[in-house]
Structure 1
Amino acid sequence: MSSSSAESGFKRIVDALTESARTCQARLAQVTRTLERSNGLDAMQDDEAQHLQRIEAWVIEGLASHGGSAVRAVSALRIANDLRRIDQLLSDLARRLPHPMPALPGDTADQVHHVIELTLVQLGACQDCLTPQNLGRIQRVVSEETFLDDWYDILLGDVLDELAEKRLSKADLIPVLTVARALESIGDHARDIAINAAALDRS
């Protein structure tokens, strides 16, 4: 395989990973909307999950045949794996949450939505990391993960305050903790995607 053909093949792989990241971001936005509705996952989300799995399979097949750098291939596989784990977290989250969610005090609800918005931004930023000339974006995702962790800690503190003041029951707060833990994990995977994107040597 010529160098230009291998490069073209790897670009298609990166494009597929970028599409997967975009799909994960869209799924998180949809799962977020289920928190405020009386039903769970809809057919569109299931279709998107299957589409993401097909992309991952295509990436693995493409890496097996493109014959390029082992470092690039391993990085691409790690990114595909992180995207799959994000997808699993979103599917599990939507299936496990009660519908509708218990009503939350305004400050706790605001914290949940803020962490969700930050996670959405992180997913969008890690998607941008897969484009060329991305060092600044990669550094942003890695640094913003610390910021997201700080807001996660604030949310947990808010939940503990609710428990101490008995404004909400443990049963009401468990879904909030489920959302928070899933969002923290998604943020971790977004950071790892950015780090592995840095190893995709496209020079």
Structure 2
Amino acid sequence: MSDHLSKQFDLELEHIRTRILQMGGLVERQLLAAIEAFSTGQLEAMQQVIDTDREVDAHQVAIDEACTLLIARRQPTARDLRLVMAISRIVTDLERSGDKAAKIANMSRRLQRAGSQRVPRLSDIHHCGRLATDMLQSALDSLARMDVDAARQVIGADKALDDAFNAILRQLITYMMEDPRTITEALDIIWIAKAIERVGDHAANIAENVIYIVSGVDVRHTAAPAKSLEQA
């Protein structure tokens, strides 16, 4: 690839990466707003979260198109192709995280409209949401800096989020066992907690892709993130 084409390729990649980080920031705000709306019960805020999902989807379509054009025009190979493939997976995880935020808002709206509140709005949900948002933010930071160590920390943080989800699950099961009238409401809150937990999984996926971009090592479905090729 000539120097001119190489520079053009780098510029196009940088534009795509900037767009991903913009999309990621939007999803972060969407998730935080969804958690806050669950706590406050504000229907207007819930609707705004749901409406934002269209904007997230538009980002995904634009980035996917940019990646397709990049491959067609530049025909990248080796590390450059690996980068474009990983970017496509990262965008998918961000879009699905946005879907989860919209689901939280939808379920919260359903709870609010149902009127009854036999199950208290658990503060643990807010804590769980904060953990997931922090993971997502850290995953995006690791992408911006191409920082393998930071990406590994994101993957390691997933256990704390899983533990928080399991604590919420045990608490809600207790409510349902003690008072069957709480079952419908408790199940809706479980779905909200599960959606938050899944955002953490998507953040961990993003971090795994950062490791793949930098090191060429695919750490998906492994017990622990592998060392980079440079460190091995």
* TM-score normalised by length of structure 1: 0.87
Stretches of structure 2 lacking an aligned partner (at least 5 in a row): 216-232
Shift of residue 58, structure 1, vs aligned partner: 1.9
* Aligned-pair Cα RMSD in Å: 2.3
Shift of residue 192, structure 1, vs aligned partner: 0.3
Identity of aligned residues (%): 17
Distance 1:92 1:156 in 2: 18
CA contact (8 A) 1:38 1:99 kept: no
Are positions 1:185 and 2:188 aligned together?
Answer: no
Distance 2:163 2:49 in 1: 33
Q: Give the corresponding residue for 1:34.
A: 37
Q: Give the corresponding residue for 1:63.
A: 67
Structure 1, 50-59 or 164-173: larger mean CA deviation: 164-173
CA contact (8 A) 2:30 2:49 kept: no
Of the candidates 117, 141, 154, which is equivalent to residue 141 of structure 1? Answer: 154
Distance 1:53 1:12 in 2: 18
Of the candidates 11, 17, 21, which is equivalent to residue 18 of structure 1? Answer: 21
Are positions 1:91 and 2:94 aligned together?
Answer: no
Distance 1:53 1:81 in 2: 10
Using CA pairs under 8 Å that are at least 6 residues apart, name the structure with larger relative contact order, 1 or 2: 1
Counterpart amino acid of 2:164? W
Any residues of structure 2 matched to 1:97-108 within 5 Å, and which? Answer: 97=108, 98-100=110-112, 102=117, 104-105=119-120
Q: Give the corresponding residue for 1:5.
A: 8
Distance 2:41 2:213 in 1: 40
CA contact (8 A) 1:162 1:168 kept: no
Of the candidates 46, 54, 72, which is equivalent to residue 58 of structure 2? Answer: 54
Query: How many residues matched?
Result: 199
Structure number, greater radius of gyration: 2
